[in-house]
Amino acid sequence: MVITFVVDMFGSTNNGTTVTCMRTAKVLRELGNEVRIIAHIPEVHDDLTGFKVLNCKMFKFPIFQPLIEKNGMTFATGDEKQIAEFIQGSDIVHLFTPFSLEIKVRRVANVLNIPVTSAFHVQPENVSYNINMGKIKAVNCLVFKIFNSMMYKHTKFVHTPSKMMRDQMMLHGYKNNIFPISNGVSEYFRPLSVPKPDDLQDKYVILMIGRLSREKRQDLIFKAIGHSQYNSQIQLILCGKGPMRKKYEKYSKKYLKNPCRFEFISQKELLDVINYSDLYIHSSDAESEAIACIEAFSCGKVPIISDSKVSATNSFALDSKCLFKNGDYQSLQNRIEYFIEHPEVKKELSPKYIEFSRQFSLKACVRQLEQMFILSISDYNREQEEHTVFFTSHHERRMLKKTAKKIGVSYQPPVLLKEKAI
């Protein structure tokens, strides 16, 4: 197949969606597919080798741009004519996020009669937490509705990385064919015998990997360690960048006997850090999957995970002691102290987690995604023969006509049908 991926930024290792795009593209190419990339690409690097690329301009939001950049995000925009020329010959176009660039590409593909699928990687909470409204249910419901209107009403087949996200989508009225498929973890992440650095030999190392943002709730880790009787023995390492960095530096001084180490490191260094760590924590209130957590337990690290209802990560708990009460630092403190005091339990759980991790093999997960693409193409061809469409609207018909005019092709919008459940 010729598969075109559309993502706002390609190349960042601080953004889970772009990392997923990069890894998936490489494996699809290894499986014999041609993969093209439409994205804003800040600089040429090895990850682009072998890919046909359309480098789009960055789109800057007034007022909010500094916050967007602190979260490791970039938005892009492109020219319809260039997009049309680039995607010609594609068997399918896959959209990673529901934003402006992806909407523009979707409409061009619709006009050119190329099947389109989408992915649901961005949780509403990723938006709402960054405007201090993460726990307001009405705000998250509104974001679900906006995403649906912008993107998902117009893409019949949708990939989401967890069953929890599929259930959330259905709860909010999404009527797509939803495929919960893990983003997958590279076999590179494996147990290794890595000695601790000399200055950490006498420390109990606790690790969390992820953006330093509100919804990730690293604040709970600082408070839990700060109130623990083992504070002086613990070394916290946070791997990631984000807007909460300065605040967490203050938390480190306030709560920790040993200053937190803030790291943003290469994959090789990360593998070493995971393997010499004693315990992994994933404290997020909201997660569509959390690849970082899977990477950690693929190396045999036992995780402590928030039991939040909008975090898919809690499904990785193989023991009740691996869960703490969402938002409760004292519950997290109790779990940390339990594993410090019961190393035999951690030792027993470690091989179970290594075995559990095998189901998240990157290549196996990408093969499942490949099958979704094949099903989507087949379904699209059937709909074309039957002259039916998944969904359209008066507004969308107008936008498709405008898109056709911009790229200079004749186009007859599909017959307007009533929206219907599949």
> Which DSSP string do the residues of 220-276 spell out, in sequence order?
HHHHHHHTSTTGGGEEEEEE---TTHHHHHHHHHHH-SSPPEEE---HHHHHHHHHH
> Within this chain, do residues 135 and 210 fall inside the same structural domain, yes or no?
no
Per-residue pLDDT of 150-168, as tens digits, reads 999 999 999 999 999 999 9
Q: Which long-range contacts (CB under 8 A, 24 or more apart) does 413-419 make?
A: 414/387, 414/388, 414/389, 415/387, 415/389, 416/392, 417/388, 417/389, 417/391, 417/392, 419/153, 419/175, 419/391
Per-residue pLDDT of 80-100, as tens digits, reads 999 999 999 999 999 999 999
Is residue 419 a part of any domain in this protein?
Answer: no
Per-residue pLDDT of 241-277, as tens digits, reads 888 999 999 999 999 999 999 998 888 899 999 999 9
Is residue 175 a part of any domain in this protein?
Answer: yes
> Within this chain, do residues 285 and 367 fall inside the same structural domain, yes or no?
no
Is residue 193 a part of any domain in this protein?
Answer: no
Query: If 0-12 CB within 10 Å is exposed, 13-18 middle and 19+ buried, where does residue 334 land?
Result: middle
> Within this chain, do residues 319 and 349 fall inside the same structural domain, yes or no?
yes
> Within this chain, do residues 7 and 83 fall inside the same structural domain, yes or no?
yes
Is residue 191 a part of any domain in this protein?
Answer: no
Region of poorest pLDDT, from 126-135, 153-162, 247-256, 284-293? 126-135
Domain count for the chain: 2
Say which residue the tokens 């598969």 belong to: 3
Is residue 416 a part of any domain in this protein?
Answer: no
Question: Which pLDDT score, from 0 to 100, does residue 420 have?
Answer: 45
> Within this chain, do residues 25 and 169 fall inside the same structural domain, yes or no?
yes
Dihedral sign (CA 241, 246, 251, 253): positive
Average pLDDT taken over every residue of the chain = 91
CA 411-415-420 angle, 5° bins: 130
For residue 241, the enclosing domain spans 198-359
> Within this chain, do residues 108 and 216 fall inside the same structural domain, yes or no?
no
Of 170, 174, 146, 112, whose CA–CA distance to 380 is shortest? 112
Q: Could you tell me if 361 and 184 are in contact, meaning their C-beta atoms sit under 8 angstroms apart?
A: yes
- Domain termination site, one of 359, 380, 395: 359
Q: pLDDT grade, residue 412 (50/70/90)?
A: confident
Dihedral sign (CA 245, 251, 256, 259): positive
> Within this chain, do residues 242 and 116 fall inside the same structural domain, yes or no?
no
Q: What is the CATH number of the domain that holds 297?
A: 3.40.50.2000
